[in-house]
A and B are shown apart, each in its own frame.
Chain A
Amino acid sequence: MIYEVFRQERKGQPYQHAGSIEAANDTFADVYAREQYGRRGESASLWIVARDSVIEIDEFVDELNRNYHRVDGYSLKEKLREARERAGTAAPAADR
């Protein structure tokens, strides 16, 4: 079985994919994951997930090409920068 391992470097931080391991069952996955990603103080916590349990989506239907709905289409920061340039005012220090 293949397991995906996610590690959290410090408490409160998001978990990030660390790699995958091959193990016979959950117990082996536990031991191997500790060995490879956890036991030298490099992780605050690990998530070990059987790859079969991961719901993967890799096809996205956009028949009518309505990509104007996309949330990445409108960068407020960029618009603000442009507006400030037009107005000739610099951004406040905290924004930079």
Chain B
Amino acid sequence: MNEQEQQLLLQIADDELILGWRDSEWTGIAPLLEEDVAFSSIAQNEIGHARALYELVARARGTTADGLAFDRAPNEYRNSRLVELRLLDWEKTIARHWLYEQADAVRLERLKRSDDPDVAGLAAKIDREEAYHRMHAEMWFERLKDEPRFTAALDELRPLLDEGREEHTAELDELWDEMTVVRRSQPAGTKW
């Protein structure tokens, strides 16, 4: 796997890890109990996808998935700015979810055609799970598409998809701090 391919997989893995984190902030406080179960499960799926992608890159780089996920500095993450924002408004969360799933579907289709059988195979596996996420995003989209608060959220968040992945907001620093605090509390190389 060449450096360019590794970078692409890292981008996707970072997106999935950070979005999984943000989505999991709804666990226990989603607007409906059924939604809490569904959305928490989606969050967990995303983190699972991140882990599988990190593992592929880690193998190429002689490191570990955990090392890639948690031992880099915030400015080394290559996630989209869209996923790092702390959005505790349901309409914004759903707007992000829908925008992300659409973009992710396009990206996965390309990845499924990769020459690397490991990458293509993993993309196909991830896509089978993402099908549920898209179904979930679509049902909410259908329900909210005429709500001004929802369409405003879409307009506000859509441009973030095209912004660069080198620069991040302070919200990523805060998330990184939370996400890695336990790991950083122990000396490097600790066996968990």
Contacts and interface: CB of A to CB of B under 8 A. Distances in A.
Interface residues of B, number: 13
Nearest to A35: B38
Interface in A4-29: 21-25, 27-28
Interface residues of A, dominant DSSP = helix
Given A27-B139, A31-B136, A31-B139, A36 B32 contact: no
Contact of B34 (A23, A25, A27): A23
A36 B32 CA distance: 14
A39 interface: yes
Which residue, of A22, A35, A36, has the highest number of chain B Cβ atoms within 10 A? A35
Contact of A22 (B33, B139, B142): B33
A35 B132 contact: yes
B142 A21 contact: no
B143 interface: yes
B140 to A, nearest CB: 9
Nearest to B41: A35
For chain A, the bracket of interface size reads 10 to 19
B135 interface: yes
A32 B132 contact: no
B41 to A, nearest CB: 6
A32 B143 contact: no
Contacts of A28: 34, 139, 143
B132 A36 contact: no
Interface string B141-181: 01100000000000000000000000000000000000000
B139 A36 contact: no
B60 interface: no
Contacts of A21: 34
Interface of B: 32-35, 37-38, 41, 132, 135-136, 139, 142-143
Given A34-B135, A35-B34, 7 more contacts: A22-B33, A27-B142, A32-B37, A35-B41, A35-B136, A36-B34, A39-B132
